Structure 1
Amino acid sequence: MQYTWHLRVHLDGRRTTVWRQWIVPVVLTALSVVGLTALLGHFRQESRPDAVGDCRSVRSHLKALSYEKIDCSAYNASYRIAVIVPSPGDRKPGTCPFGPYRAVAGPEQTECLVLNAKTGDCLELQGPRRRELSERAVLVRAECNGAPTVAKVSAVLTGSAGGCEPRDEAIYYAQPETTICLRRP
């Protein structure tokens, strides 16, 4: 009877290779470890608490708007968390600083969102009631390719409460002190 490390000859004359006995379990174990590591890393990354500077996109539903976490480099990142304040409870929003912040209430904290815009961005209204700016319709970034827009950002001024041209409308946020100048088409 001949025996080598890669070939096993059984008493009944069958020949089997040894690699089948150890390579399959090793490969399956390695794939399981890699898969579990990737899965746990995904959950750990998603469970990071919200922080000042994180961005949100706006989704319009039948009667309400929702703000979803998104990478700030994405084009539809229309809002950015400027301030986080404590919530009084029962999903009621906390008090944001002076300005047209969008308050997104959570169980323990309220995110005060500011428009995430830069000079040259076009804006449109999004929501169930798109005719006027309200709790159900908000400004969002839009393509400037000839589609109807509400306004274009003519300037973003940080550290000041004014400075827009007379024909522009100003959106002022107290914290961080920022003025966004909008020009209607």
Structure 2
Amino acid sequence: MSVPPPPSQPQAQPGPYGPPPGQPDGGFGAPPPPAPKKNKALGLLLKIGVPVLVVLVAGVIGILNFVDSPATSNVGDCLNVTQFNSTTEPTKADCASPEANLRIGAKLDGSSGACPAGGTYDEYTVSGRGSYKLCLVLNVKQGECVANFSAGETGYKRVPCTDPSAEVEFLKVAEGVVDEALCEGTEAEKVLTYPQPATTLCFRQVQA
């Protein structure tokens, strides 16, 4: 009499974020992390395994654009961030130019470190080989207005305070000090502070 085969073991099914730990995913690495958000993290996903010809061409372009890359930036440099997503890389910009919407307050080796405590930084993080993190401060002057302040992915943009897209007006910009009391006596409704470099920004919502 033949012996029936042992019952097959149920196979773990992959969830929405990839297979369970220890299970193969059918690819060459772990699934990418979710796209980071504004005021939380701005990520750059590095791709591998592209055809050789594309790699060579991309390498030439990369050499030409490297001087404008955030990787070559230092504390105090400014960036033009047009989109807060995983596919648009910021570029270096003159801090006096209208396009320079963020300034580097701190640069960390590695992607897992934390920005200075107590700061309301935006973050740009590069993971993998040569990983680093930039802690970013709003680059604004007193009296300026900004659009896209609450937009999830669109970068901050300086606009005239009479522009219908203006969302907030910065009533006071104090450099070299972190003190919310500096906003007292103004019409400021909220405060942003950064310990490095020490900065206090007092602002209000622009009335439609």
TM-score range, shorter chain: 0.5 to 0.7
**Does 2:118 match 1:101?**
no
**Does 2:205 match 1:171?**
no
Residue deviations 1:134-155 (CA, integer Å, cap 9, x gap): 5x35543223343331111100
Aligned-partner residue type, residue 179 of structure 2: A
Q: What does residue 124 of structure 1 align with?
A: 147
Q: What does residue 161 of structure 1 align with?
A: 179
Q: What does residue 7 of structure 2 align with?
A: none
Give the strand-richer structure, 1 or 2: 1
Q: Mark the runs of 5 or more structure 2 residues left unpaired by the alignment.
A: 1-63
Aligned-partner residue type, residue 143 of structure 1: P
- Aligned residues between the structures: 134
Pick the aligned partner of 2:101 from 78, 81, 87: 78
Q: How many Å separate the matches in 2 of 1:138 and 1:46? A: 18
How far apart are residue 43 of structure 1 and its match?
7.6
How far apart are residue 95 of structure 1 and its match?
1.1
Pair 1:113–1:43, CA change in 2 (3 A): closer
Q: How many Å separate the matches in 2 of 1:61 and 1:111? A: 13
How far apart are residue 116 of structure 1 and its match?
0.4
Structure showing greater Rg? 1
Pick the aligned partner of 1:111 from 130, 134, 138: 134
Q: What does residue 55 of structure 1 align with?
A: 78
Q: How many Å separate the matches in 2 of 1:57 and 1:111? A: 13
Q: Mark the runs of 5 or more structure 1 residues left unpaired by the alignment.
A: 1-41, 127-131
SS in 2 for 1:113: strand
Q: How many Å separate the matches in 2 of 1:173 and 1:133? A: 21
Residue deviations 1:30-86 (CA, integer Å, cap 9, x gap): xxxxxxxxxxxx789558821111111121378866422112121111000111112
Q: How many Å separate the matches in 1 of 2:123 and 2:162? A: 30
| Residues 93 and 103 in structure 1, CA contact (< 8 A), matched pair in contact too | no
Q: How does the TM-score come out when normalised to structure 2?
A: 0.55
Q: What does residue 33 of structure 1 align with?
A: none
Q: How many Å separate the matches in 2 of 1:49 and 1:74? A: 19
Q: How does the TM-score come out when normalised to structure 1?
A: 0.61
| Residues 99 and 172 in structure 1, CA contact (< 8 A), matched pair in contact too | yes
Q: How many Å separate the matches in 1 of 2:168 and 2:82? A: 20
Q: How many Å separate the matches in 1 of 2:67 and 2:167? A: 36
Residue deviations 1:14-40 (CA, integer Å, cap 9, x gap): xxxxxxxxxxxxxxxxxxxxxxxxxxx
Pair 1:108–1:160, CA change in 2 (3 A): same
Q: What does residue 146 of structure 1 align with?
A: 163
Pair 1:125–1:49, CA change in 2 (3 A): same
